[in-house]
Amino acid sequence: MNRSTKTVSAITVVIALSTVTSNAWAGNTTTIKLGENPEYGAYLVDGAGNSLYLFEADPLGQSTCYDECAQEWPPIIATDVVKAGDGVVAYKLATTDRKDGTSQVTYDGHPLYQYAKDKHPGQTKGQDIKDDGAEWYLMHADGIKVGHEDERKS
């Protein structure tokens, strides 16, 4: 190996190592932020702008939506980091363990879900419908269900 080949090999190794290291540190991030709609105001969405819902049948901090329910209402599964986007109260974000071993994102104690019939960011077809035995709602940043603003404490 000549000097030029050794230098190129050393540079290649350094670049490869720095790429692996930066990817390991970066991890995957699940972002919860606010979307807005003229009818509902500001409500929780994921990083791509998909509407997020709470399920009234869930006890605080625990998911009851599995199997067929989870196919129609996919749970928001936490990746390495859960991040509060603009307008979201960071301390209200947490996770809960699902029986399949994954961690589901919760907000103010409510496990979060998407709705399979919402095909595009900003769609809210799951708002205030009864399905799988209970109601589904969008949620404001203060933890109040959309459509139940009168439950806010004055």
**pLDDT for residue 29 is more than 60:** yes
Give tens-digit pLDDT for 67-88.
999 999 999 999 888 999 999 9
**pLDDT for residue 113 is more than 70:** yes
Average pLDDT over residues 101-121: 97
* Three-state secondary structure readout of the chain: CCHHHHHHHHHHHHHHHHHHHHHHHHCCEEEEEEEEECCCEEEEEECCCCECEEECCCCCCCCCCCCHHHHHCCECECCCEEEECCCCCHHHEEEEECCCCCEEEEECCEECECCCCCCCCCCCCCCCEEECCEEEEEECCCCCECCCHHHCCC
Give the per-residue pLDDT at 82: 93
Average pLDDT over residues 60-64: 95
pTM score > 0.75 for this model? yes
